[in-house]
A and B are shown apart, each in its own frame.
Chain A
Amino acid sequence: MKIRSDILRIYQALHTWGGICAGMLLFIGFFGGALTMFKDPLDRWVSAPALPVQQLAPAQVDEVVADVLAAYPAAREEFTLHVARHENTPAPVSWQAGESGHEIDFGLVRWQATLDAQGRLAVRQVQPSLLAELIDMLHRTGGIPGTLGDEYLGIYVMGVAGVLYFLALVSGVILLLPTLVKDFFALRPGKNRKRFWLDAHNILGITSLPFHIVISLTVIVFAFHDQFYDGLRGIVYRDQPMFAPPAIRHAPGDATKLLPASELVRRVRRQAPGFEVTELLYMGVESPRPIVRAAVASPRHVVQGAQTGFVILQPYTGDILSTSMVPGQGNTWSALVAPFFALHFGSYGGMTVRWLYFVFGLAGAALFYTGNLLWIEKRRRSQLKHGPLPQQPLRTARIAAATVGVCLGSMASIGACLVAAKWLHAFGAHANSAYLIVYYAVFLACVAWAFARGAARAGSELLVACAVAALAIPVTSVAGALLPALGMWAHTSPATLGVDATALALAGLFAWGARLAARRAINGPRDSVWATASVALPMAEAARKVGT
């Protein structure tokens, strides 16, 4: 297909600048997003085993609920009934003071309630690990601190990055169209490194194009949906209701008259056969609008939430108020909307799709990293034949250093957070208050390192740092298992072992990348920003003199 050169020039500029401006932010978003595919296993991996996972009969759970509601007013505002109990949710009932907010509260305290050996209510105060929440926040904000209104500032910045990302996709496809047939799947290794990187960049981009289009559009919607709804309300709907909240009748406002939780679970199961009921979130049981949101999971269905679909019930009558977030039970419109969410969250097809999204997420991050490398290589001043080694412009060197520092730094610092969670526990501290310090300290140190050492050396050195951080994750678990005196732990459920195994695999990947980058820095073209040549040369010179 032929495209006029003036069009190609414009879209080349668009692709470059959109990519450079958004690339680093999107890298963090993609790496964090890949990890959030396994938010639950991460949460379980990092939760200290203070309480063994409680095996209680449904009737006993009902007893816990009734006792908690009688004794703790805060629970009457909101509490969670954990039907599926794991390392991170060992007790059947948990709650906190006030409603769960929009932003992460690193001082969060929750209460867990279960029955002790004598069958009496046993309540403990816990600080649930917020590591998985933190990774999710980094995914959504790119690690940009601060708030705007009642939303993270980073979410809006990520929304703008989503727009640039979409433009980079459109322009990237336009640029590739003229040579699509020729270049597609032509991965040309060999002498021309730039060609190789461009081929790799194109293959990654084209093979996962639908995924990337979906992600970019959903990122824009997730960032600006409040503004979109406000706009629609103002100019389209005006006095028409946009949402019809279900009418709630017979709310006595007396928690002692609630239906037993086991009865609600039974009704949810009847409503959504084939689904696993994972938890029930009770909201405002003594308010005029008491609601229970039951989470239902199934690997065989497209669900609207990040992990599960939802059934909404009235907790006094057991009436099903809404099934529009249960796959196949909503109306046409909610059925049309659900895939938008599911395609972003990868919440369809169970573990297979989660792994696929994990790989796509990492590949996407690689797409942005290689994109920036390409741009930097393209701008380099080439060495003239027998001419002096040209000096690379400072600007290019800085963007190269920033790319290396920000991208690799974000990965190393997330790894450091995981490791810190267990080691801080060993020293009697709780990691929640330290996560942000650990994250930003490692991240900023990596960025500073990249600027101080230059992109070429930092490129391989920071990959070594990533490998070390990733390797420390399973090593910490092994240490916790072998040396209980350390005060750490290692869970043995398949999901948490999967975290260790994946970290080990990533450590290998980082180490391999570090070796490639180091070899390139020494053997690559000396006029590249990826070469340590300007320093290596006098050293080699000196070595030769010593040798002779």
Chain B
Amino acid sequence: MSADIKRAPIRPDWWSKTFAGVVLGAMLAFALAGIFAWAGPGGITPPDKSQFVMWLIAPVWMTVLGFVWLFRTGTLALLWLGGANLLAWGLLFCVRG
């Protein structure tokens, strides 16, 4: 593998990438917000923290969705985001106990 091989252009793959961004992106956002809720500063109990946790979801979700079309193919997007979801959800189940 040499670095100067010209890469194939990015495939639009509108359906699979949009699905990955919308569904897997949302699930990832929920999991990351959940990890922050349990393992972030203060733990699960501080009053009003749940509001901040809720506000975390949209920015994370939208960032994933906004850049999901940069994956070279839809399959890659599904695989990477699926993998990230597995990791994040595993971690959430760990910290949630």
Contact = CB atoms under 8 A, between A and B. Distances in A.
Determine if chain A interacts with chain B: yes
Interface of A: 4, 6-7, 9-11, 13-14, 163, 166-167, 170-171, 216-217, 220-221, 224-225, 228-229, 231-232, 235-238, 240, 242-244, 324, 330-334, 336-337, 340
A330 B48 contact: yes
B30 A231 contact: yes
Contacts of B54: 221, 225, 228-229, 232
A229 B69 CA distance: 28
Contact of A228 (B10, B12, B49, B57): B57
Contacts of B62: 163, 166, 216-217, 220
B53 interface: yes
B55 A221 contact: yes
A14 B10 contact: no
B44 interface: yes
Nearest to A245: B47
B33 interface: yes
A330 B65 CA distance: 33
A443 B89 CA distance: 48
Contacts of A336: 52
B34 A232 contact: yes
Interface string B3-16: 00000011010000
Contacts, number: 94
A504 B59 CA distance: 40
B66 A232 contact: no
Contacts of B57: 221, 228, 231-232
A14 B52 contact: no
A333 B48 contact: yes
A6 B44 CA distance: 44
A235 B30 contact: yes
B85 to A, nearest CB: 12
A328 to B, nearest CB: 14
Nearest to B54: A228
B30 to A, nearest CB: 6
B38 interface: yes
Most chain A C-beta atoms within 10 Å of own C-beta, residue among B37, B50, B53? B50
A39 to B, nearest CB: 24
A13 B17 CA distance: 14
A225 B57 CA distance: 10
B10 A6 contact: yes
Given A228-B57, A236-B33, A236-B34, A333 B66 contact: no
